[in-house]
A and B are shown apart, each in its own frame.
Chain A
Amino acid sequence: MYPGPVVAVDDLSLEVGEGEFLILVGPSGCGKSTALRMVAGLEHVSHGTISIGDRVVNDVPPKDRDIAMVFQNYALYPHMTVEKNLGFGLRRRRMPRDDVRARVDDVSRMLGLDELLRRRPGQLSGGQRQRVAMGRALVREPEVFLLDEPLSNLDAKLRVQMRSELKRLHDRIGVTTIYVTHDQVEAITLGERIAVLSQGVLQQVGPPQDVYDHPANVFVAGFIGSPPMNLLTGVAVDGHVTVGEVELERTGAPDGEVLVGIRPEGLRPVGAEHRGPVFEVCVDVVEPLGDEVLVHGSVAAPDAVAATEPEEGILAAESESGRASVIVRLPPEDRPATGSLLRVTPLPNALRLFDPASGRAIPN
């Protein structure tokens, strides 16, 4: 498929606990699908080991790994009925006919497919196909469940619905699950732990909230969270960080240039009487989202944008205008007018610092 040898996944070390729901997330082409396919046995592993339970499975063919996989395009056998699709894996494993039927019945009832057993995949809607694909994996009662972007072919509404259904399903059957997605919202909402990948390299693993609150590097800060974390270039002297003209709280940063990250909701509007660090945001665009308002604007500070595209490296070029773009998340009643000046202050503990050379987080 690829011309010449390509290292798609490099030095990935991950342990998934029994019954855990782990999410592999990253931009497209980051190697997350390849990592999943390695676990499935569909891709060759040149170095390292893959173990399921106590068993090293590097040289075990896919069928003997006790895994089941749901593909992005579902990969339902188009010439077989739903019933045959569900039972295919069991019949290949020489399970007696009656047992196959019993299991297929169980699973189809659980997923609400009992009415559709005689239909072929071509006669099903997207959501139903997705459910059959899930059912085909579930019916095998595997030790590990692998899901490769299972929701990406569904429309937005169905995706939200299936997302919660998936979570409920996992809570009920408790199979160890590895779930690949490029959608960070899906990652945050579904996973017990998420692993962020970029260019085949693991960036950070942890519970979603931890990853969101304390991104390990600039890439994660930019990738997890929508809109992404604001990144500004500042200078640290004796632990005091200054961004543009604004002096921020005391931190543990070493002297020199430093990247300051603030989540859009980490900035709070304040009046003229506010004492403390204040950014004056020149409002360019206001996006009302109903329950909140996103304010796009700029502040007088050198810009630093985290690159989420692999080919751009970890940091994109700094803008030359001397103004850095920021996004502020506000409640709808605080909606400012376009072109106005919005005074905001960073909330306590909202600041994250990163080393501009390596992109790594500096502990406060």
Chain B
Amino acid sequence: MSSTIAPARARPARLDPSLLPGETGMVERPRRRFLPFDPWHLFLAPLAVVMLLPLVWMVVTSLLTEAQTHHFPPVLWPGTPQFDNYLEAIRRSAFGTWFWNTMVVTVAIVISNLVLCTLAAYAFARVRFLGRGFVYFVLLATLMVPLQIVLIPTFLIVKELGLIDTLGALIVPNLASVFGIFMLTQFFRTLPIELEEAARIDGASRLSILLRIVVPLSLPALATLAVIQFMWTWNDFLWPLVTILTNQDAFTLQLGLATFQGAHQTTWHLLAAANIMSMLPMLVLFLLAQRYFVRGIATQGLKG
């Protein structure tokens, strides 16, 4: 019904809209228009500006001279953009090491999450075993426990494992996530069971069904999980701060960026430049996966 009315609203040039059935199935009165655009834009456009402002300000700051960053009132437009700030940020810090470390940790976690959560979620969704409901419930319950509560116990475990001050401390506790298991379980349950039954009759093993039928049909969900996990890991500050104590070679980007902010002085222009560089991989990933990401969220009815 809505598909018939939508074009009529967009360009009422040829057809009299009053003659077309509306969303209610009745003939709608033509709407009087005061504006050449949807009135919602009056609300949404300022909101978009507010959301974009911090980002724009960060870009501006990254192009200022150090003196300009301390100026009051704030400088809103750099006279000559200081692109050198970016090189300077890299030169004056171990940016390369941080970037590499973060990449290693993030990629390892994303891949292991995709593999482990898929396996676990498939078991919860399709394999019948004793205590399945109970175990699933307990897993979900852990989602409700705030990070602050498990921070110290997890730290102690990681310490026992001898991983403090290594990248392992960042990777091992996050190899699988309850959120990922939950999300994929819900998605797998929506797949028609007949497909798997047909594959069973066709002679496919459990693993083969998972790899050849379930996973290809779950690409939107997997892409969503990958992006979310990437974002969380890439941006995580608290856990690296707690576990990477002295070893600067194991610093992640977020830890490294904090070093621009000293007790007595903060080099804002360099911090902003480094920040923008640290955001780039996420932006690229998001743009690449956006199609899947949005569709994936929509399929599951989860709030992004």
Interface residues of A (CB under 8 A from B): 40-42, 61-63, 67-69, 71-73, 75, 77-79, 88-89, 92-93, 136, 140
How far does the alpha carbon of A67 sit from the alpha carbon of B198 in the complex, in Å?
11
Judge whether B241 is part of the interface by a CB distance below 8 angstroms.
no
**Which single residue of chain A is at the shortest CB-CB distance from B216?**
A79
Judge whether B70 is part of the interface by a CB distance below 8 angstroms.
no
Q: Quick check: A89 and B194 within 8 Å, CB to CB?
A: no
Task: Looking at the assembled complex, report how far the CB atom of B223 sits from the nearest CB atom of chain A, in whole angstroms.
Answer: 14
Judge whether B202 is part of the interface by a CB distance below 8 angstroms.
yes
Q: Quick check: B202 and A63 within 8 Å, CB to CB?
A: yes
Q: Quick check: A88 and B199 within 8 Å, CB to CB?
A: yes
A–B Cβ pairs within 8 angstroms, 8 of them: A41-B201, A61-B200, A63-B203, A69-B201, A73-B194, A78-B217, A79-B217, A92-B202
Q: Quick check: A73 and B200 within 8 Å, CB to CB?
A: no
**Which single residue of chain A is at the shortest CB-CB distance from B202?**
A89
- The SS class assigned to the B binding surface is helix
Task: Looking at the assembled complex, report how far the CB atom of A132 sits from the nearest CB atom of chain B, in whole angstroms.
Answer: 12
Task: Looking at the assembled complex, report how far the CB atom of B151 sits from the nearest CB atom of chain A, in whole angstroms.
Answer: 42
Q: Quick check: A71 and B204 within 8 Å, CB to CB?
A: no
Q: Give the residues in chain B near A63, CB-CB below 8 Å.
A: 200-204
Judge whether B213 is part of the interface by a CB distance below 8 angstroms.
yes
Judge whether B84 is part of the interface by a CB distance below 8 angstroms.
no
Q: Quick check: A62 and B200 within 8 Å, CB to CB?
A: yes
Q: Quick check: B194 and A75 within 8 Å, CB to CB?
A: yes
Per-residue CB contact flags for chain B residues 160-193 toward chain A (1 = under 8 Å, else 0) read 0000000000000000000000000000000010
Q: Give the residues in chain A near B213, CB-CB below 8 Å.
A: 77
Q: Quick check: B194 and A93 within 8 Å, CB to CB?
A: no
Judge whether B115 is part of the interface by a CB distance below 8 angstroms.
no
Q: Quick check: A75 and B197 within 8 Å, CB to CB?
A: yes
**Which single residue of chain B is at the shortest CB-CB distance from A67?**
B201
Q: Quick check: B202 and A75 within 8 Å, CB to CB?
A: no
**Which single residue of chain A is at the shortest CB-CB distance from B219?**
A79
Q: Quick check: B202 and A88 within 8 Å, CB to CB?
A: yes
Please report the total number of B residues contacting A with Cβ < 8 Å: 16
How far does the alpha carbon of A77 sit from the alpha carbon of B209 in the complex, in Å?
11
Task: Looking at the assembled complex, report how far the CB atom of B69 sits from the nearest CB atom of chain A, in whole angstroms.
Answer: 53
Q: Give the residues in chain B near A69, CB-CB below 8 Å.
A: 197-198, 201
Q: Quick check: B208 and A92 within 8 Å, CB to CB?
A: yes
Q: Give the residues in chain B near A136, CB-CB below 8 Å.
A: 198, 202
**Which single residue of chain A is at the shortest CB-CB distance from B195?**
A75
**Which single residue of chain A is at the shortest CB-CB distance from B200?**
A62
Task: Looking at the assembled complex, report how far the CB atom of B187 sits from the nearest CB atom of chain A, in whole angstroms.
Answer: 15
How far does the alpha carbon of A341 sit from the alpha carbon of B216 in the complex, in Å?
67
Interface hub of A42, A68, A93 (most chain B Cβ within 10 A):
A42
Task: Looking at the assembled complex, report how far the CB atom of B135 sits from the nearest CB atom of chain A, in whole angstroms.
Answer: 20
Per-residue CB contact flags for chain B residues 87-125 toward chain A (1 = under 8 Å, else 0) read 000000000000000000000000000000000000000
Q: Give the residues in chain B near A68, CB-CB below 8 Å.
A: 201
Contacts A42-B197, A71-B198, A75-B194 supplied; 4 other A-B pairs, CB < 8 Å: A40-B201, A42-B200, A88-B199, A92-B208
Q: Give the residues in chain B near A67, CB-CB below 8 Å.
A: 201
Q: Give the residues in chain A near B195, CB-CB below 8 Å.
A: 75, 77-78
How far does the alpha carbon of A62 sit from the alpha carbon of B216 in the complex, in Å?
23
Task: Looking at the assembled complex, report how far the CB atom of A318 sits from the nearest CB atom of chain B, in whole angstroms.
Answer: 43
How far does the alpha carbon of A42 sit from the alpha carbon of B204 in the complex, in Å?
14
Q: Quick check: B197 and A71 within 8 Å, CB to CB?
A: yes
Q: Quick check: A62 and B217 within 8 Å, CB to CB?
A: no
**B192, B194, B201, B208: the one within 8 Å of A62 (CB):** B201
How far does the alpha carbon of A359 sit from the alpha carbon of B213 in the complex, in Å?
49
Task: Looking at the assembled complex, report how far the CB atom of B282 sits from the nearest CB atom of chain A, in whole angstroms.
Answer: 28
Q: Give the residues in chain A near B201, CB-CB below 8 Å.
A: 40-42, 62-63, 67-69, 89
Q: Give the residues in chain B near A41, CB-CB below 8 Å.
A: 200-201
Q: Give the residues in chain B near A92, CB-CB below 8 Å.
A: 199, 202-204, 208
